[in-house]
Amino acid sequence: MKKNMGSIDRLVRIIVAAVVALLYFNEVISGTLGLVLLVLAVVFVVTSLISFCPLYLPFGLSTCKVKQNEE
């Protein structure tokens, strides 16, 4: 897998996941919506750790900085 996530993208995903987890475990969000958001938070953390987002592939997106070769 080629990395397609930059450091800012990864940081934002981890912050969002932490907020969702905090809201879920403090019972601010609950029920089906809470579980769906918690699963999404886990996905955000996993994709942040591996620096790869499968949803970026079909759209050709990448937030990773491209290194340019000097000629």
* Tens-place pLDDT, residues 1-60: 788 899 999 999 999 999 999 999 999 999 999 999 999 999 999 999 999 988 888 888
pLDDT of 67 reads 65
Spatial contact of 37 and 24, defined as CB atoms under 8 Å apart = yes
Task: Return the H-helix or E-strand segment holding 44.
Answer: helix 31-50
Domain ranges of the chain: 7-50
Paired tokens of 36: 């769906």
CB atoms within 10 A of CB 8: 10
Spatial contact of 24 and 38, defined as CB atoms under 8 Å apart = yes
CB atoms within 10 A of CB 25: 11
